[in-house]
Chain A
Amino acid sequence: MKYVLMILTMLMSFAGHTVEDKYEFSSQERAATFKELTHELRCPKCQNQNIADSDAIVAKDLRDKVVTLVHEGKTKEEVIDYMIDRYGYFVHYQPPVTPATIILWVLPIFIVVVGFGFIVFRQKKASRKQVWDANDEAKLTKLIAQYQRKEQQ
């Protein structure tokens, strides 16, 4: 039983290996760049997978291209630009700030600001000191008298 468990755990540890293990890099830094890139670049064929996850032919081609570019010493930004040049903004998971996408960035901030503004406004209004003068007193007595009369009826 012990051995079966041991073999099982060993097998499971193999399953955890991911794409980047197949490639070799001259430095830790480049390996890290490759890993980041394959998780940030989106497979153009398969809607919602990054190129590390996807088994599509084009995803493999992109991975190979990323490896080549990283080997050539290109920076992360240069590789991303290279891909956007060919596959459009679709290929990168972080949308750029353009007039069409500005709402994505502005709207959340706007909502937070308006929300806080509303809370502050409410609290200020609630904490304002209220003065109690003779006028109010007279109104109150009148109201009390009215209800008392109603109850007696």
Chain B
Amino acid sequence: MNKKLIAIIPFLIFMFLCVFLYQGLFGNPRELQTGRIGQVMPSFTLPDLMVDEKQWQNTDLLGEVYLLNVWGTWCPTCIAELGYLAQLRSQGVRIIGLYYEQAYDPDFGDQFDMNALRVEVKSMLDRAGDPYQFNILDLERTLALDLGVSGAPETFLVNKEGKILLHHTGDINPRVWRAKFAPAIQELSQ
């Protein structure tokens, strides 16, 4: 009896490994943990992308549930999701853009041309759809760093009190919306 039991142990270990490794096949290594979920939006003061002199602060965003969508015209996936996001906007979802400028790097003496960027953004939003209530320009990516953003597109769901509830890396499509965002928003409205 005892010997039989011992003989079975390698088989059990093998089975355990099989299950464990098989599971790993479906893991998504891009799915990151993030440090910011459950915390309030970090404080910031950043300019509006389109309006001169207009500054946004974290306190300006309080009071309503919103999505903060990190994007840039240089990012093809961001462009691809604009259409769907615009559709969400028409359904009453409040979406705020955080413009993530990739090309700008003062260390290399880059000159930043605000007007050129505005023209580019406007033509892009006219073509692909405009989901944004307004856009915040994070030229030096300081807010992006404080939020743990690793690239674009990324989207945060923030509640009325400014607490970050979700951090999604990658595009938002109907599948992601149904699986992740819709239930969370539903829960908030209850």
Contacts and interface: CB of A to CB of B under 8 A. Distances in A.
Contacts of A60: 105
Contacts of B105: 60
Nearest to A44: B150
Interface in B88-108: 102, 105, 107
Contact of A87 (B29, B107, B141, B148): B148
Contacts of B148: 44, 86-88
Nearest to A43: B150
B116 to A, nearest CB: 20
A58 B149 contact: yes
Main secondary structure of the interface of B (DSSP, over half): loop
Contacts of B102: 57
B150 A58 contact: yes
A63 B150 CA distance: 13
B189 interface: no
B24 to A, nearest CB: 14
Q: What class of interface size applies to chain B in its complex with A?
A: 10 to 19
Contacts of B123: none
Given A44-B32, A86-B36, A87-B35, A56 B145 contact: no
Interface residues of A, number: 18
Nearest to B105: A60
Nearest to A57: B102
A85 B35 CA distance: 5
Nearest to A64: B107
Interface in B32-74: 32-36
A61 B35 contact: no
Interface in A62-96: 62, 64-65, 84-90
9 closest Cβ contacts across the A-B interface? Answer: A88-B33, A44-B150, A86-B148, A87-B148, A45-B150, A88-B35, A85-B35, A58-B150, A88-B34
Interface of A: 44-45, 47, 56-58, 60-62, 64-65, 84-90
Given A58-B149, A58-B150, 18 more contacts: A44-B150, A56-B150, A56-B151, A57-B102, A57-B141, A58-B151, A64-B107, A86-B34, A86-B36, A86-B146, A86-B147, A87-B34, A87-B148, A88-B34, A88-B35, A88-B148, A90-B32, A90-B33
29 contacts: A44-B32, A44-B148, A44-B150, A45-B151, A47-B29, A56-B150, A57-B102, A57-B141, A58-B149, A58-B150, A58-B151, A60-B105, A61-B141, A61-B144, A62-B145, A65-B145, A84-B35, A86-B34, A86-B35, A86-B36, A86-B148, A87-B32, A87-B34, A87-B148, A88-B32, A88-B33, A88-B35, A89-B33, A90-B33
Interface of B: 29, 32-36, 102, 105, 107, 141, 144-151
